[in-house]
């Protein structure tokens, strides 16, 4: 046990690092579960540089493994859907057929989805890195690549870079919070708050960029009409 500022704090151990890795692995296997706060909190409790590197390595490995599980899971679900003739194979199939008064909309939406998936595939490395760093962007990118049957080994290569960058940011936030505060528990709170603020800031920046892109180029709807910019 480590005594600081009249408060007893448990040092980071191999068991606690393994627990953080397990949390990151499980959270990365499903969509839209944030884990940056967990990583920053663990880093804030770390007392030495070697343990920081261990936390970083475990988090990177767990996040890559979780993302790969998600990719393979979506691919398996898509394969099962294609084997069932009556099952929905696209978003428009969920309606049970063509909407009344809009002939051919299903085919146009399917073509639009294929173009969208092709765009993500053609820019896979950038999409994977950006999707990992921007909150809420990871799952759509992985789903799109899975539906496009993107090779797993190429995805893992891009995801390794993405997860290393992502983990480095949140580990650095946690380590800085712990050092600045001079107290592990206060450092954990500071690190978690900084991680939340970083995620919120990235969301705002992403929303503004998407809004500017829609104003500059417009958004073409599946039916060939120009979507209104809000």
Range from 66-70, 79-83, 157-161, 221-225 carrying the lowest mean pLDDT: 221-225
pLDDT at 186: 66
Give the Cα separation of 118 and 198 in Å (integer): 30
More confident residue, 61 or 4: 61
pLDDT at 20: 94
Cβ(210)–Cβ(202) below 8 Å:
no
Q: Where are the domains of the chain?
A: 2-27+34-84+110-205
16-33 burial code (b ≥16 CB/10 A, e <16): bbeebbebbbebbbeeee
Q: Is the predicted pLDDT of residue 5 greater than 50, yes or no?
A: no
Residue located via tokens 């650095």: 172
pLDDT at 96: 46
Give the Cα separation of 160 and 168 in Å (integer): 12
Range from 56-60, 107-111, 160-164 carrying the lowest mean pLDDT: 107-111
Give 179-210 pLDDT, tens digit per residue: 765 665 666 666 667 666 766 666 676 566 65
pLDDT at 217: 53
Q: Is the predicted pLDDT of residue 60 greater than 90, yes or no?
A: yes
pLDDT at 202: 62
Name the pTM for this structure: 0.69
């Amino acid at each position: 046990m480590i005594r600081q500022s009249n408060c007893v704090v448990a040092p980071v151990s191999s068991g606690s690092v393994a627990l953080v890795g397990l949390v990151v692995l499980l959270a990365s296997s499903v969509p839209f579960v944030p884990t940056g706060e967990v990583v920053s909190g663990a880093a804030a409790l770390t007392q030495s540089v070697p343990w920081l590197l261990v936390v970083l390595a475990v988090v990177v490995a767990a996040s890559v493994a979780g993302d790969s599980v998600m990719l393979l899971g979506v691919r398996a679900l898509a394969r099962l859907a294609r084997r069932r003739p009556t099952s929905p194979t696209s978003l428009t199939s969920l309606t049970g057929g063509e909407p009344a008064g809009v002939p051919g909309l299903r085919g146009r939406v399917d073509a639009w989805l294929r173009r969208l998936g092709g765009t993500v595939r053609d820019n896979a490395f950038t999409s994977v890195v950006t999707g990992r760093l921007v909150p809420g962007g990871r799952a759509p990118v992985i789903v799109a690549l899975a539906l496009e049957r993107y090779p797993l080994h190429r995805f893992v290569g891009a995801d390794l870079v993405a997860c290393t960058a992502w983990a480095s940011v949140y580990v650095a936030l946690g380590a800085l919070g712990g050092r600045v505060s001079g107290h592990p528990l206060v450092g954990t709170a500071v690190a978690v708050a900084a991680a939340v603020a970083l995620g919120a800031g990235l969301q705002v920046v992403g929303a503004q960029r998407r809004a500017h892109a829609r104003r500059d180029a417009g958004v073409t709807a599946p039916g060939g009409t120009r979507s209104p910019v809000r």
